[in-house]
Amino acid sequence: MNEFIEWLTQPWPWYVAGPMIGLTVPALLILGNKTFGVSSSLRHVCAMCVPSGIPFFTYNWRKETWNLVFVLGILIGGFIATSFISNPNEIVIASGTQQELAALGITDFSGLMPSDIFSWENLFTGKGLLFLVFGGFLVGFGTRYAGGCTSGHAIMGISSLQWPSLVATISFMIGGFLMTHVFLEPLMKLVGF
Amino acid sequence: MKILEKETEEFVCDAPNAQVTGEKGFALVKYLILGILFGIIFVKAEIISWFRIQEMFRLTSFHMYGVIGSAIVTGIISIQLIKRLNIKSISGETIIIPNKEFRKGQIYGGLIFGLGWALTGACPGPLFAQIGSGFTVIIVTLLSALAGTWVYGRFADKLPN
């Protein structure tokens, strides 16, 4: 039992986590004829709170309550994993990435998120504006424009062999590579790293 | 009957819900449990980590490729099994997997999301798990994502698509 708990607290390898995530696809289909997609929850919240008469937000969001319950579950799951079976050791980051990030001005490599960026103190600074406000906006705008995110396109879409989802996924990756290798350094300098 | 009529109204959703039978209250608990499991996996596999996303885009670790790749393979096998064995949903309905039609938005929007993904280190799912893990400042990222979603909806008909 103790060994099992100890194993649980270690970071889970990809070949455990990936198939478990993949199984969400048939689980949702069989439980309720639902297709897997997380970013839709953002649209439902807009439809619920600020539809403003916009056609894109005028639909029966109540029928999609399951999606909001699902993301609430993700939040609770995050809390449970961190509170009860969190990894006692520091995160192991690939040395190449750590060196490159250190060169960009990141100093904290202890947790899942660098406190140099993701902290309340940084919220009203250029760092907070760039990574939290601007980054979040791009995620929300981009996923809706693309009609899905990593779950809806990369996992659900490609799993059901839909080529538009492959196009979307390739676009996600190109966007990410562009940000990481082209824009990140000048943007980080701009906000004071 | 009235309720049924209401639920069949046309709605083009990105994660469509084909179930005819309405679900309320206790019936939703199964999605909560599934979400909780999902959130735990996100944290334990460190998918919510900004560093893991940086490693992915810097090609210094196989981890994220392994996670997404094996999730897709599992998904493909599962869907093929559902189709070939004609597996029904637990309420006895035929499982429907809607087709996604190609739009230019999948490229433009995809690129924009990708830019944001590398900045925030999170796609929408992990955002919720990050908040649950105690990174409460990510609430701001989530609110911004909601704002982005709203702005897209507001100008959707004016954008190339």
Contact B118, B53 (CB under 8 A): yes
- What's the mean pLDDT in B97-102? 91
| pLDDT for the residue A154 | 96
Question: Which residues does chain A have within 8 Å of residue B124's beta carbon, measured at their own beta carbons?
Answer: 38-39, 41-42, 71, 139-140, 143, 149, 151
Contact check, Cβ <8 Å, B53/A176? yes
- What's the mean pLDDT in A37-66? 95
CA-to-CA separations, A135 to A139, B116, B117, B119, B121, in angstroms, rounded: 6, 5, 7, 6, 9
Local confidence band at B139 (pLDDT 50, 70, 90 cut-offs): very high
Contact check, Cβ <8 Å, A136/B33? no
Contact check, Cβ <8 Å, B31/A70? yes
Select from A30, A55, A78 the Cβ nearest to the Cβ of B132: A78
Res. B15: pLDDT tops 90: no
Res. B1: pLDDT tops 60: no
Question: Which residues does chain A have within 8 Å of residue B93's beta carbon, measured at their own beta carbons?
Answer: 33
Local confidence band at A4 (pLDDT 50, 70, 90 cut-offs): confident
- What's the mean pLDDT in B27-56? 96
- A130-184 pLDDT, tens digit per residue, is 999 999 999 999 999 999 999 999 999 999 999 999 999 999 999 999 999 999 9
| pLDDT for the residue B9 | 37
Select from B117, B138, B157 the Cβ nearest to the Cβ of A172: B117
Select from A22, A33, A146 the Cβ nearest to the Cβ of B89: A33
| pLDDT for the residue A81 | 97
Local confidence band at B10 (pLDDT 50, 70, 90 cut-offs): very low
By the CB < 8 Å criterion, does B137 face chain A? yes
Query: Considering the entire predicted model, what is its pTM?
Result: 0.93
In DSSP terms, B94 is beta-bridged to: B88
Contact check, Cβ <8 Å, B124/A157? no
- What's the mean pLDDT in B52-79? 97
Alpha helices in chain B (DSSP H): 2-7, 29-44, 50-57, 63-84, 105-120, 124-132, 138-155
Local confidence band at B18 (pLDDT 50, 70, 90 cut-offs): confident
- What is the ipTM score, two decimals? 0.96
Q: Count interface pairs A-B at CB distance under 8 A.
A: 554
Of all residues in chain A, the one with the smallest CA distance to B18 is A33
Res. A78: pLDDT tops 60: yes
- What's the mean pLDDT in B107-125? 97
| pLDDT for the residue B71 | 97
By the CB < 8 Å criterion, does B79 face chain A? yes
Contact check, Cβ <8 Å, A146/B82? no
Contact check, Cβ <8 Å, A146/B151? no
| pLDDT for the residue A53 | 94
| pLDDT for the residue B24 | 78
In sequence order, the 6+-apart residues with CB closer than 8 A to the CB of B74 are A18, A19, A21, A22, A23, A25, A159
| pLDDT for the residue B4 | 41
Local confidence band at B13 (pLDDT 50, 70, 90 cut-offs): low
Average pLDDT of chain A to the nearest whole number: 95
Select from A11, A80, A87 the Cβ nearest to the Cβ of B40: A80
In DSSP terms, A56 is beta-bridged to: none
